[in-house]
Amino acid sequence: MKILVLTQYFWPENFRINDLIAGLAQKGHEITVVTGIPSYPGGRYFDGYGLLKNSRQTYHGVKILRLPVIPRGKGSKLRIILNYLSFMVSAFILTPFLYREKVDIIFFSLSPVAEGIPAVALKILKKAPLIFWIQDLWPESLSAGKMFTNPFLHSIIRKIMRLIYASCDSILVQSRSFISFITRMGIQNEKISYFPNFAEDFYKPMDLNTLTAERAALPAGFIVMFAGNIGGSQDFPTIISAAEKLKDHPDIHWVIMGDGRMRQWAENEISARNLSRNFLFLGSHPAEEMPRYFALADVLLVTLRNEEIFKLTVPSKVQSYLACAKPLITSLAGEGARIIEESRSGFSCAPEDPSKLAELVLKMYHIEAQERLAMGLNGRKYYENNFSREKLLNQFDNIIKGIKPKCGS
């Protein structure tokens, strides 16, 4: 089957869609990805890329067509808006000229409006069914992340999203809690399928008993590790306040793997509170390296702000953590907290509660290593039963084969 994918972010940027597309290509589908010039999360073009550099590539047999985009820069609201708009305009205008072939399926996922508007136009032009895999609910997640708070802008985005949903032939949701939200917008339940995130196969338990570069980079003691985007949604004020409550335990270290627009604020706040000895920022690393760092952590951390929309969301790092058989501490509500409780893989508390988060870290710190090991193994078993990559790839394959008869190309 010929599949055209519109995604603002793609390899070498680190997003879960990379592995999904590679997996579908392994199943024999002919896939072309239309994406932007890679710049996330650093805000500038990756080395070796530019308007005329590496605009045509392949990735695990997938053809890549890169479009000009305005990078996010330092992550100001204006630059983020320009980043989204530039991809939307480029995809809308250039894709019909760069990709002239007939297509069986059009698929998009990551930036609902920036990808959705050109995707709907291509659906009409190519007379092909459209699939949308929803990772975040716009505009609600934008507001919750303190990115855009203008009510007029939100009203416009909400109306656009309603039209995009209505134009899709199939809608996949990464959280079961999204289903009722979308049906309330007038979308038929029959269009919607639960399709959670999965972790790449390299996310697995590892045993690093010998001296490694990763071990040398980490401090001795009890390691609480956070990995991923350092943004407004991830609630770093609560993490920092919880660490401040535990500053009398100098062997508890908070290791932050990743980058994002709130990193500088977080580092400044940590310095102002005299917590620099308690925190270590290691920056972004290739996804393939992350399981080695996870193996050296005592507990892995997930946090989100206390917003209604985040109660519906499952952060994609949850699957990566579970796959690596490490215990979790989460500051979440709703669907994410349910998974931790159901899997018996760690402890969870309500979001934006530094005292409770500190209490759970201290509780994990005091329990026996064997009990932490058992929690991690519970998580791995739950992952295999609910988020297996192979099972979900087969599910996706069945979904697209099921809507093939609608294709008019």
Residue 408 has pLDDT above 50, yes or no: no
Pick the CATH number of 213-386 from 3.40.50.1980, 3.40.50.2000, 3.40.50.12280, 3.90.550.10: 3.40.50.2000
Three-state SS at 219:
coil
Residue 307, pLDDT score: 86
Tens-digit pLDDT profile for residues 86-145: 999 999 999 999 999 999 999 999 888 889 999 999 999 999 999 999 988 876 776 665
The reported pLDDT for the residue numbered 256 is 97
Q: Which fold has domain 2-198+388-406?
A: Rossmann fold (3.40.50)
Rounded to 5°, angle at Cα 74 from 70 and 80: 45
Parallel/antiparallel/unpaired status of strands 252-257 and 222-227: parallel
How many whole angstroms separate alpha carbon 135 and alpha carbon 14? Answer: 15
What are the backbone angles phi and psi of residue 344, rounded to the nearest 5°?
55, 40
Domains 2-198+388-406 and 213-386 share a fold: yes
Report pTM: 0.84
* pLDDT for residue 405: 46
pLDDT digits (tens, 9 = 90+) for 14-54: 888 999 999 999 999 999 999 999 998 788 899 999 887 88
Confidence band (pLDDT; 50, 70, 90) for 192? Answer: very high
Task: Say whether the peptide bond before residue 315 is cis (omega within 30 degrees of 0).
Answer: no
State the pLDDT confidence band at 409, using cuts at 50, 70 and 90: very low
Domain residue spans in the chain? 2-198+388-406, 213-386
Give me the percent of the chain exceeding a pLDDT of 90: 69
CA distance 318 to 63: 30
Of the listed ranges 6-20, 42-56, 299-313, 393-407, the least confidently predicted one is 393-407
User: So what's the pLDDT on residue 78?
Assistant: 85
- Contact at 8 Å (CB) between 376 and 323? no
Convert the pLDDT of each residue in 149-182 to its tens digit: 677 777 888 889 899 999 999 999 999 889 988 9
> Rounded mean pLDDT of 210-229?
88
d(CA 211, CA 219): 13
Parallel, antiparallel or unpaired: strands 56-59 and 62-67: antiparallel
